[in-house]
């Protein structure tokens, strides 16, 4: 399919996928500037997953939406792993908050993507 053929909800979901893939770039710049350290490798894996799903949506929208739901759940649960394991987060400690702001934004975006992909999938499945 082409971009012009997509519904507005599909376009919003796909743009949010790209935004979610770009979040680690902001985190990396912040961590390099403030703390002279990088971010964990698993954060980049989430980005690669969102970019792959973006292009899958062009080939087969139904599979892209199913993948968006599954990967959105993984991306929403993923940031809680380091928190529960007790890994320190320098930015969260510097701001005196329990979770990194980039992880919190990632969770919110993932939940919105899950909702949009689910509603799109229900509409497509009819």
Q: Average pLDDT over the chain, rounded to whole?
A: 87
Kindly indicate the confidence band of residue 126, based on its pLDDT and cuts at 50, 70 and 90.
low
pTM of the complete model:
0.86
Domain ranges, residue 58: 3-124
Assess contact for 43 and 107: CB atoms under 8 A: no
Dmax (CA) for the chain in angstroms is 51
Whole-number Cα distances in Å, 73 to 26, 37, 94: 22, 28, 28
- The domain total for the chain is 1
Per residue in 60-111, pLDDT (tens digit) is 999 999 999 999 999 888 887 777 776 777 788 888 888 888 888 989 999 9
Closest CA to 1 of 71, 65, 49, 73: 65
Residue bearing the bigger pLDDT, 38 or 48: 48
Q: Is the pLDDT of residue 38 over 80?
A: no
């Amino acid at each position: 399919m082409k971009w012009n053929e997509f519904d507005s909800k599909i376009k919003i979901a796909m743009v949010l996928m790209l935004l979610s893939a770009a979040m680690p770039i902001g985190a990396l710049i912040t961590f390099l500037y403030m703390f002279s350290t990088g971010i964990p490798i698993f954060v980049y894996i989430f980005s690669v997953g969102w970019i792959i799903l973006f292009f899958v949506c062009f080939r087969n929208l139904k599979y892209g939406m199913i993948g968006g739901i599954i990967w959105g759940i993984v991306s929403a649960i993923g940031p809680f792993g380091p928190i529960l394991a007790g890994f320190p987060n320098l930015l969260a400690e510097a701001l005196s908050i329990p979770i990194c702001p980039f992880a919190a934004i990632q969770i919110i975006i993932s939940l919105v993507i899950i909702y949009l992909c689910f509603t799109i999938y229900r509409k497509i499945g009819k």
